[in-house]
Chain A
Amino acid sequence: MTSDAIQPRLKRVFAQVLGLEEGVISDATAPDIAPQWDSLAHLRLVMAVEEEFGISIPAEQVMDMVSFKIAALMVEELAA
């Protein structure tokens, strides 16, 4: 899946789960600058991203999804 196809859908999921406006979400969105992104929100985010794109992020990578940019790269790789 191309990055262009992923970006808007991923932004919507992030916005919905974190309670942010889509406009403020950028590659740099990460737990240290978005206080809503706590450990529980992280689990929600992972599951919601998986549902949206029909993918499963391996256990080893679940905790590595520490920014919007990394999430987009993971989806790009996993969504055939």
Chain B
Amino acid sequence: MAKVPRISDFIVSMLPPSLSALFEGFDGSQSAYSALARKLEPALAELPEVRVALLASCTVEVVKSFLLVEGARRGLRFTIWCGPYGQIEQQVLDASSEFYSFKPDVVFVLARLEDWAGGELQSFATERDALRQSLVKRAQQVAQALRRHSAASLLWSAYATPRLPGVEGAPGLFGAGSLAAFATILNGETAVAIETVPDARLFDLPAVVALCGAKRWHDERMSFLARMPFSGEGFAVLGASLARAIRALRVPPRKCLVLDLDNTMWGGVIGEAGLGGVKLGDTFPGNAHQALQKAAKALRSRGVLLAIASKNNREEALEAIERHPDMLLRPADFSAMEIHWEDKATSLRRIAKALNIGTDALVFVDDNPAEREWVRQQMPEVAVIELPKSVAGYAAAIEDSEWFDAAVVTQDDAKRAAMMSQQAERQALQESSGSLEDYLAALQMRVQAGPVNAETMERVVQLLAKTNQFNLTTRRHSRADLEQLLGEGAVAVWMRVADKFGDNGLIGVVIGVPEGDVWRVDSLLLSCRVIGRGLETALLGLLARQAASRGGRVLMGEFVPSDRNLQTKDLYARHGFEPKGEDGQFWTKALEPLENFAIPAYLDLSYDE
């Protein structure tokens, strides 16, 4: 019997118990899908709703029950509307259509080449370039029309190679003039064209056909009888794949992959086999363990944090990670490492804490079923990947788990892992340092500062716009505001900081406005990732020197409370300012002598005039 490729059953176990119970005994057969869809439909009220509209050039309504079940399995309640076949453009171009009154969140379009260009493709005499361009344009126009009337996400099906018997000279040859080449180039061009429309992208229908197997996907009988060209099994695979894609659009990926070491990252037990005895390398099973590492490394480059939870002697394990010649992952790739003999739930909680993420952002991979079961019981919010018996399937199991599916991957995502692991190293240093002063000195901070100029203006305005926590007045000056202040004699100073673990970038701003010989600190802010390092003291010191050199005699601090910045309310008191009035808004301190505005000695500071 056809088995639909599906997400790990454990995503079902993460549903509310009343729902996961409905999946009991579900065998994946088509009739079971029908029955389960009927049972689920009235029971999904507590899941978040996604309204899915289906528009196709052929009959696809049969997919509804598969899609509903596959959505529920992933924790989503799909409300599904299926348009009449062959009415893609009619529905999308008409603002008063039934399609728009359904108010879709996600629109799935399936236009088959057989239906849209079957006639033109029938003969090789056709001008195929012109046909391709018109098809690209047709898809883009539908996407643009949709965007005029609706904010719904669009999934446009990439074109599967059409089955047009007799047209191909020799099926199996991927000639430049073949239908396969035509569809491939068309898909590349359509992907680019459709992504010019916000939140519009292709759905990989050819991959669905391949997953099902082309021979089992097509059903000529139903095509002739009911304009329904796919088999029941095909619809089941389509439902699962589409539900997965929709989930990726709606649910952010998990943030951290936590890996076990022995028999997961490498074959064997390091404590018994030793560095030379564990299996890792280019022959089986070492290459399968390496494949798992490769997958983890790829995830890391997309911004997923990596961590280790292993029961081992720490030194022994670390030595293997550092020195084994076939390790693809090294200590620097891990944002947190829990290697000791305590239980794994404890390790997972510590990892989440160290990385400042929720335990519900963790995905746990361990070859030992007992450890998996323990974590599942102790921390039901952690996603536990059910590994297959053989290591050959470990890497694929991570991909198939869907926990790291992300519709959009940005450059910032890619940098995040590097910045987070620097953050974890800083934290480790803090834990090993005695006093705060020792820690700050050990960070070896190099601070650069200077007057805001054309080069730094953009970043400074961005910081003014988005800094909430360490921001004394939360004044959201625009670029024009700031330029005007500077024109009137104000001083604005930016600050960058780098430390032994990496560059934090431009992270601080202070703005002083002269009011006679009193200089008012109009704005003072720091990015939250560098709070607690005495950088605010340096900013005040820098401003004091600028003000004094321009004839200022008094610095007047200002604090304007917001619902986010309360941690800064005693900043001026800490720096020896006297309150002016009862409300704590204004504070003053004489600029003479400037030694009272000392810059912390552990900062290696340079000021660019």
Chain A contact residues (Cβ within 8 angstroms of B): what range? 20 to 34
Contact assessment for A16 and B62 in the assembled complex, using a CB-CB cutoff below 8 Å: no
Contact assessment for A47 and B225 in the assembled complex, using a CB-CB cutoff below 8 Å: no
Interface of A is mostly: helix
Contact with B along A44-80 (1 / 0, CB 8 A): 1001101110101011001100000000000000000
Q: Which residues of chain B are near A43, meaning CB under 8 Å?
A: 62, 222, 226, 228
Interface of B is mostly: helix
Contact assessment for A48 and B62 in the assembled complex, using a CB-CB cutoff below 8 Å: no
Q: Count B interface residues, CB 8 Å.
A: 22
Contact assessment for B62 and A44 in the assembled complex, using a CB-CB cutoff below 8 Å: yes
CB distance from A31 to the nearest CB of B (A): 15
Contact assessment for B61 and A48 in the assembled complex, using a CB-CB cutoff below 8 Å: no
Quick check: is B31 within 8 A (CB to CB) of the other chain? yes
Q: Which residues of chain B are near A44, meaning CB under 8 Å?
A: 30, 34, 62, 65, 232
Given the interface contacts A19-B38, A40-B62, A43-B62, does A52 sit within 8 Å of B31 by beta carbon?
Answer: yes
Quick check: is B2 within 8 A (CB to CB) of the other chain? yes
Q: Which residues of chain A are near B45, meaning CB under 8 Å?
A: none
Contact with A along B28-53 (1 / 0, CB 8 A): 01111011001000000000000000
Contact assessment for B232 and A48 in the assembled complex, using a CB-CB cutoff below 8 Å: yes
Q: Which residues of chain A are near B29, meaning CB under 8 Å?
A: 48, 51-52
Closest to A59 in B: B221
Given the interface contacts A16-B35, A19-B38, does A47 sit within 8 Å of B30 by beta carbon?
Answer: yes
Query: Which of A15, A40, A54, A56 has the most B CB atoms < 10 Å from its CB?
Result: A40
Q: Which residues of chain A are near B61, meaning CB under 8 Å?
A: 40
Contact assessment for B228 and A51 in the assembled complex, using a CB-CB cutoff below 8 Å: no
- A65 and B84 CA atoms in complex are apart in Å by 25
Closest to B228 in A: A43
- A52 and B65 CA atoms in complex are apart in Å by 18
B232 interface neighbour in A12, A39, A50, A58, Cβ under 8 Å = A50
Contact assessment for B1 and A51 in the assembled complex, using a CB-CB cutoff below 8 Å: yes
Closest to A15 in B: B35
Quick check: is A30 within 8 A (CB to CB) of the other chain? no
Given the interface contacts A43-B62, A48-B29, A59-B225, does A17 sit within 8 Å of B233 by beta carbon?
Answer: no
Quick check: is A6 within 8 A (CB to CB) of the other chain? no
Given the interface contacts A47-B231, A51-B1, does A19 sit within 8 Å of B225 by beta carbon?
Answer: no
CB distance from B234 to the nearest CB of A (A): 10
Query: Which of A17, A44, A47 has the most B CB atoms < 10 Å from its CB?
Result: A47
A1-47 interface (Cβ within 8 A of B):
12-13, 15-17, 19, 39-40, 43-44, 47
- A12 and B221 CA atoms in complex are apart in Å by 25
CB distance from A33 to the nearest CB of B (A): 20
CB distance from B29 to the nearest CB of A (A): 6
A13 interface neighbour in B31, B224, B225, B231, Cβ under 8 Å = B31
Contact assessment for B30 and A51 in the assembled complex, using a CB-CB cutoff below 8 Å: yes
A17 interface neighbour in B2, B31, B220, B226, Cβ under 8 Å = B31
Contact assessment for A51 and B2 in the assembled complex, using a CB-CB cutoff below 8 Å: yes
Contact assessment for A16 and B32 in the assembled complex, using a CB-CB cutoff below 8 Å: yes
Contact assessment for B224 and A16 in the assembled complex, using a CB-CB cutoff below 8 Å: no
Q: Which residues of chain A are near B226, meaning CB under 8 Å?
A: 39, 43
Q: List 7 A-B contacts (CB under 8 A).
A: A17-B35, A39-B226, A43-B62, A52-B1, A52-B31, A59-B224, A59-B225
List 3 A-B pairs, minimum CB-CB distance, nearest first.
A47-B232, A16-B35, A16-B31
